[in-house]
Amino acid sequence: MKIGIVTFWSSKDNYGQLLQLFALQTFLKELGHEPFLIRYAFWKDNSIPKLFKEYFLLPWRIPRAIKNKIAERKVHKSNIVHERKFVEFLSENILYTEQIYSTKELINNPPIADCYITGSDQVWGALTPNPVFFLQFGAKEIKRISFAASFGDGNDFFKDGYISKVTPYLNKFDMVTVREYKALDVCKKAGINGCILFPDPTLLIDMSNYNRLLFSNLSTDKYCLVYMLEGEEKTKMSMDDIVAFVKDMGAKMIYVASQGRFDKYAKQYPTIPQFLSYIKNADFVITNSFHGTVFSIMYHRRFVVIPKKNGNNTRIETLLSQYGLQQHIVEEPAMIKNAYNDVVDWTLVDNINEKKKKETVDLLQRVIGGK
């Protein structure tokens, strides 16, 4: 079956974004399908009339828009200086459409497929629902599936205004699967009672698929990998506290951050193969990233997760609760050592993943078949 995937794909610094896409394509190929990325670019929709409506008719949005644009330019400059070769990874490992589509182009001339899939990642994370990420294009007879789709963190998705917008979209799906428990509740409120919790696709493929990507030329010194997203002000622990703990460990620190995180500490800007290698060979991982946590688990690394200050940590809480590893979410520096010394039964973790993979394959094949 030919399957078109709609998800995020254009980041230059979000490792999880491209790795979840890589994993989903690999997973579907292993089931005998022909998956491809539909390169949808929402920025192509920013027409003059749309911008006029958003900013001139709603002028209170202008200051925030200016602030965001300044931040975007700063990040763009950092992306140029610190190239992580995401474009090369995409071209070498992902099958995608030659055309980059706008919403109008997708509706008028959608790519040919037997099935469309949206997900994984936070494809439903916008408070103004994007019809493309809800697969509102293509012929009616084409199957539509959400694969571990995420609304992201936050509670605004439970509001009646949002629910009323997404309900007609979700009713057109042949199968709705989500990544978090909270997303199940959102779908239930929208009347989608058959919604299913699916694992992130990065958890569903054999490790050999990642290991073939690995970068071999790494230092053999003991090190702690610190992988952080967004600004320091959004997490419950300062970098000063994290650095102090790593120093007490007597370990070297390798610090990887998203381009929007600016602080005084020296950072590394690895390619995706180097990033995976950093996790695989780390003595310990400290992160606030969902996929940083996923790959720490997959590679059986000792790890802690630093939660967000706003309390919206649904994605990671759902993930860790399935393994009984909630104690690895820490808010105080004194708690890091307990997580570091925690002995995880990795055989149990692997068995849980295998069970989830089998359940996922069985459920998916009921809708789209497979070999």
> Each residue's pLDDT tens digit in the chain (371 positions)?
999 999 999 999 999 999 999 999 999 999 999 999 999 998 877 655 555 555 555 565 566 556 555 555 554 455 556 799 999 999 999 999 999 999 999 999 999 999 999 999 899 988 889 999 999 999 999 999 999 999 887 667 777 888 999 999 999 999 999 999 989 999 999 999 899 999 999 999 999 999 999 987 676 789 999 999 988 888 899 999 999 999 999 999 999 999 778 889 999 999 999 999 999 999 999 999 999 999 999 999 999 999 988 767 888 999 999 999 999 999 999 999 999 999 999 999 999 999 999 999 999 999 998 65
What string of DSSP letters covers 29-88? Answer: HHTT-EEEE--B-GGGG--HHHHIIIIISSGGGHHHHHHHHHHHHHHHHHHHHS---HHH
pTM: 0.90
Task: State the residue for tokens 């590394």.
Answer: 268
Contact 301, 279 (CB under 8 A): yes
**Direct distance between the N- and C-terminal alpha carbons of the chain, in angstroms, rounded to an integer:** 10
**3-state secondary structure at position 132:** coil
- CB crowding 119-129: b at 16 or more within 10 Å, else e: bbbbbbbeeeb
- Integer-rounded Cα Rg, in Å, for the chain is 21
Q: What is the DSSP letter of 270?
A: -
Q: Which helix (H) or strand (E) holds 126?
A: none
- Cis check: omega of the bond before 11, within 30 degrees of 0: no
State residue 369's pLDDT score.
80
Hey, what domains does the chain have and what are their CATH numbers?
A: 2-206+354-368 (3.40.50), 216-349 (3.40.50.2000)
> Strand 175-178 and strand 143-149: pairing?
parallel
Spatial CB neighbours of 71, under 8 Å, sequence gap ≥ 6: 260
